[in-house]
Amino acid sequence: MSVYYINDGHRHLRDIALPDTGIYKGISASVQLGHLQLTSNLKDDILAVDLATD
């Protein structure tokens, strides 16, 4: 997953490696927790990524 800073001309910030669990169908983020959650339709997985530490 690539992360960009939209308000700075779409400047690339970093890449975060995600496990190959299929096509991600849902995404949610929590500013308070600093987490990003993704759902996969292939294995019915829920993946949580700590955005501070990847």
Contact 47, 40 (CB under 8 A): yes
Side-chain half-sphere exposure of 47, counting CA atoms within 13 A? 22
In a domain, 35, yes or no: yes
Name the domain count of the chain.
1
- Tokens 């959650």 found at: 37
In a domain, 13, yes or no: no
In a domain, 6, yes or no: no
Task: Tell me which residue range forms the domain holding 42.
Answer: 19-54
pLDDT of residue 45: 83
In a domain, 7, yes or no: no
Contact 38, 50 (CB under 8 A): no
In a domain, 50, yes or no: yes
In a domain, 39, yes or no: yes
Strands 24-30 and 35-40: antiparallel
pLDDT of residue 41: 79
pLDDT of residue 22: 72
In the beta sheet, which residues pair with residue 38?
27, 47
In a domain, 4, yes or no: no
In a domain, 12, yes or no: no
pLDDT of residue 4: 93
Model confidence pLDDT, tens digit, residues 7-52 = 999 999 999 888 776 788 889 999 899 999 999 877 778 888 998 8
